[in-house]
Amino acid sequence: MPPITRRPIIGVPSARYADSWYTPANGNAISYLRAIEAAGGIPALIHQTADQDVVDTHYQHCDGIIFAGGTDIDPIRYAAARHPKLEAPDPQQDELELMLARRAIADGKPVFGICRGNQLLNIALGGSLYQDIPSEIAGSLNHSKSTDQRDMAYLAHDLELTPDSWLAERLGATNLRINTLHHQALRTVAPGLRVVGYAPDGVVEVVEGTGTSFVLGVQCHPEELWEQADRRWARVFAGFVERAAG
C-alpha cells in the first residue's frame, strides 16, 4: 500500500458520562484517540445527537469509524428479553451507533469495533449476543479478569486466530495473550461476518467482514495494549488507518 499522504479522519462515537447533578458529558477514553493519532489518523469525537444534519456532517467528514467499548446494548435491538445481569443501556448511543455502523458498511467505509463495538457490529448486521457470559455459557473463563485486576492492560487469556485472517497477518501471530473486560459476547454471528478468533473456552473474540468493506471486530481492548503491553497491536491501528486513507 502506498504511503499515507493525507491523515484520514477517524470518527469515534461518544458515550454519555452522567453526574449526580452536573451537566452530563459526551466523550471517550483518551487511549482510543492516542492510538489513532499514533497510527497516523486524526480522531474526531461524534457526540450524541438526534439532529440528522449534524450526524450527516460528522459522517461525511469521517474516512473510517472506530466503535469503542462501553455499556451494554439494549437487547431489544436483537429481539431478546432483558437478562437480569444486563447493565443499563443508553438508547441514544445505541440508535446513533447502529445507524452509523450500517451506513458505513453499506458505503464501504472502514469500521473497527472494540469490545462493545464488536458486539455492535454484530447486532447491526443481524446477529445476537450472550447477555451475561458467566450465567449463559457453562464452563466459561472469567472474561472480566482484567477488570477484576483493576488493570486494563492485564493479559488474562489466550486468543487463537485463524491463520488466513487479516488480524493474524497484521499481528504476525495466530496465538497471543489479550486483556479481557467484558461480560457479554457474540452469540449468533451475523451474515457478512466470519469468526476468526476464539478464547480457549470457545467464546468468539474476533470477527472480520466477508464482503468488500473493511470490517473488524475484537472483544479485547487493543487501545490499552499497543503502547506497552503488546506493541504488535500498533500495527493493527496503523493498518486500519491505512484502509481509511484509501
What DSSP letter does each residue of 62-80 carry, written as one string? -SEEEE---SPPPGGGGT-
- Run of H or E including 209: strand 204-209
Instruction: Return d(Cα 103, Cα 106) in angstroms, integer.
Output: 5
Q: CA end-to-end span of the chain, whole Å?
A: 9
DSSP category for residue 96:
H
Instruction: Return d(Cα 196, Cα 179) in angstroms, integer.
Output: 17
State the catalytic residue, choosing from 62, 115, 182, 224. 115
Active site residue 223: yes
What crossing angle do the helices spanning 30-38 and 233-245 adopt, rounded to 10°? Answer: 70
Residues 9, 44 contacting (CB under 8 angstroms): yes
State the catalytic residue, choosing from 205, 221, 224, 242. 221
State the catalytic residue, choosing from 205, 223, 224, 242. 223
Active site residue 221: yes
CA distances to 14, 106, 113, 166 from 244, in Å: 20, 15, 14, 15
**Which grid cell sits at 81?**
428479553
Residue 180 CB coordination number (10 Å): 27
Q: Are strands 111-114 and 25-27 parallel, antiparallel or unpaired?
A: unpaired
Active site residue 183: no
The residues annotated as belonging to the active site are: 115, 221, 223
